[in-house]
Structure 1
Amino acid sequence: MQYHFVIIGGGIVGMATAWKLALKNPGLRIAVLEKESVLASHQTGHNSGVIHSGIYYTPGSLKARNCIEGYRQLISFCQEENIPFKICGKLIVATTQKQIPLLEELYRKGIANGLNQIKRLSSSEIKDYEPHAAGLAALWVPYTGIVDYATVAEKIAQKFRELGGEIFPGSKVIALKDKGDFTEVITPEKTYLTKFYINTAGLYSDRIALLTGKQLSVRIIPFRGEYYTLRENRTWMVKNLIYPVPDPEFPFLGVHFTRTIKGTVEAGPNAVFAFRREGY
């Protein structure tokens, strides 16, 4: 089978890439190969389900620009496609004096990124937003929301199919062979001939890259995030989302309380080194 594009990986990034390609280039033959039997089985479906506003990122940076534009597009998509989501807001709470200047830096970043409705809160004002939270100071970020990203990915897949795109679940890529102007993307069952391929394989993106035979200077180091779920008779204690001030020495936002779109409340994640890439 011959295609203009083959997308390797059927998570939300792969599906969004395929859909946008099909939307902007009618007539292209595009295939998505997903090694699992269903889409969005891994990172897309294993996260806190938070719609981030861009408060953490350096103004003008690629992350900031993509987060702000992605926020706008995601909310618009959910509204147009009737996907459940909620803009509930979150608190970022400082619990030590050392965190106060870090909190102030987040405020400056937020304002510079156009989040003009964020508010500084005193210790007593925290109770107005989260009666069971405590801290020295906080930021209220009303833009933050929640959504089920696996549901978003499934809707994108539906729209991709409506444009003539093809999705092949259960198709694990095991080899890539250069054939001059084309590449053979090989799975145990079939070989797909394509002009271009795009690697959106998530946790396995480095291994897919190595199939090209090129040297690779980076690799995926897997970490597992663990969550607790609050008992149903205690979910009322968390009104929205509650985050700590992130430690700048680590690439994580910290353990937080998150309301999910399904109505549960989770506490997590931590970050634990994992010996398997899918060691959930």
Structure 2
Amino acid sequence: MTDVVIIGGGIVGLATALQIKQQRPGLSVVLIEKEPAVARHQTGHNSGVIHSGLYYKPGSLKATNCIRGYQMLLDFCQAEGVPYELCGKIVVATKPDELPQLDILFERGQLNGLTNIRKISAGEMRDIEPHVAGIAGIAVPYTGIIDYTQVCEKLAQKFQQLGGELRLNERVEQVTPGTSLSIVVTNRSRYETKLVVNCAGLYSDKIAQLTQRDPVDVRIVPFRGEYFKLKPHKEHLVKHLIYPVPDPNFPFLGVHFTRMVHGGVEAGPNAVLAFRREGYTKSDVNLKELYETLSWPGFQKVAAKYWQTGLGEMYRSFSKAAFTKALQALIPAIQEDDLEEGGAGVRAQACDRTGGLLDDFAILETDKAINVVNAPSPAATSSLSIGQTVSEKVLSRF
């Protein structure tokens, strides 16, 4: 019998596992991951940005956990020798109609405690990024770059040193909630546990449904973000991180330029519907999962509302010229030949039945389970804070 079974070996699951063992060493904790290593999906495919908390509504779970998690992450990396760099970023308005949203971002940043951000003119922007185009911006010195897979490897190591069990290559097939214990069945083992903690990311809604009889009223809709890389001879065009002013009605930040902690510059991502939950290429298709997405009433409402935006993102997915044009809004000197194929990530975006794309982190609780059902960006930055929040919920049960 195990006290706690955690499902999902991404950064949120690992941070939760470590926090539980640090706070209550006597509890038995097993973390189950279906892949042969940790951080194989959302965590290992993101752009490696340490987010400052600029974008998020003050008081929201994203804002509070990002601000708290930011410092917790830096403290952890310093203590454990995980390399990172606080290189800073600028958010760039390229058109007059973006200025009101830029002002809102600046105000949000200040309300979230980012006292060192500052508004900058076009000239000041070019002092920071000589090749950028824009009419106004915000300088954000807090933003950094990191390798989150390295963070996860260190979290896993410390969790196991404290007596936690990490079970790789195990896929959860069934969860049966009982009166006092739940039964978790994988392709390899069977676990009796007092509490299930679901940090399954792209499959968090599926696992949540296994933990309860009532329907889970959100569905994970997978959005693929595709990147290009700047060829080495053009990396000098980007000194820090360069972001556009995001569309306030769409939960993505727009194509941007990101220096990588191991070298190189990524350009992107776009945001297109993935045809399977772990669909990292255009040819990755799972007809059952695609049907589940397309038939979800909430997604149908999203598609009706954002069809023009979605078509534009899809066009950029298939047209390198269109992708280049979007990047040129920030750096006009970028040419199509300057870009080479990069990687891709898939964002687990929760969508409710009414067509709401959940903007905040979401945790659903039952007597026998705690389900983290929405933890997209900035979950990696916020992971230790989310882990603390979830671990507190766990420990209140014991």
Give the alignment's TM-score, normalised by structure 1: 0.98
Q: Secondary structure at the match of 1:31?
A: strand
Report the residue type matching 2:223 in the other structure. F
Deviations 1:189-217 (A, max 9, x none): 11011010100000001111122333111
| Alignment match, 2:61 | 62
In the TM superposition, what are the counterparts of 1:246-265 in structure 2 within 5 Å? 246-265=246-265
1:100 positional shift: 0.7
Give the distance between the partners of 1:62 and 1:272, measured in 2 at CA.
26
Greater shift in the superposed pair: 186-195 or 205-214: 205-214
1:264 positional shift: 1.0
Deviations 1:234-262 (A, max 9, x none): 11110000000001121111111000111
Report the residue type matching 1:193 in the other structure. E
| Alignment match, 2:108 | 109
Give the distance between the partners of 1:265 and 1:275, measured in 2 at CA.
27
Is residue 167 from structure 1 mapped to residue 138 from structure 2 by the alignment?
Answer: no
Greater shift in the superposed pair: 234-243 or 58-67: 58-67
1:232 positional shift: 1.1
1:119 positional shift: 1.2
Query: How many residue pairs align between the two structures?
Result: 279
| Alignment match, 1:76 | 75
Report the residue type matching 1:227 in the other structure. Y
Is residue 197 from structure 1 mapped to residue 196 from structure 2 by the alignment?
Answer: yes
1:62 positional shift: 2.2
Q: Which runs of 4+ in 1 moved over 4 A?
A: none
Greater shift in the superposed pair: 177-186 or 86-95: 177-186
Greater shift in the superposed pair: 236-245 or 111-120: 111-120
| Alignment match, 1:224 | 224
Q: Secondary structure at the match of 1:164?
A: coil
Counting aligned pairs with the same residue, the percent is: 56
| Alignment match, 2:278 | 278
Greater shift in the superposed pair: 29-38 or 204-213: 204-213
Report the residue type matching 2:78 in the other structure. Q
1:51 positional shift: 0.5
Q: Secondary structure at the match of 2:172?
A: coil
1:178 positional shift: 2.4
| Alignment match, 2:151 | 152
Report the residue type matching 2:70 in the other structure. Y
RMSD: 0.8
Give the distance between the partners of 1:248 and 1:24, measured in 2 at CA.
39
Give the distance between the partners of 2:187 and 2:106, measured in 1 at CA.
52
Deviations 1:69-115 (A, max 9, x none): 00010011111111010000000000000001111111111111111
Give the distance between the partners of 2:17 and 2:123, measured in 1 at CA.
49
Give the distance between the partners of 1:205 and 1:57, measured in 2 at CA.
23
Task: Name structure 2 gaps, 5 residues minimum.
Answer: 281-398
| Alignment match, 1:6 | 5
Deviations 1:102-161 (A, max 9, x none): 111111111111111111111111110000101010100000001111110110000000
Give the distance between the partners of 2:162 and 2:171, measured in 1 at CA.
24
Q: Secondary structure at the match of 2:70?
A: helix
Report the residue type matching 1:148 in the other structure. D
| Alignment match, 1:125 | 124
Give the distance between the partners of 2:38 and 2:149, measured in 1 at CA.
8
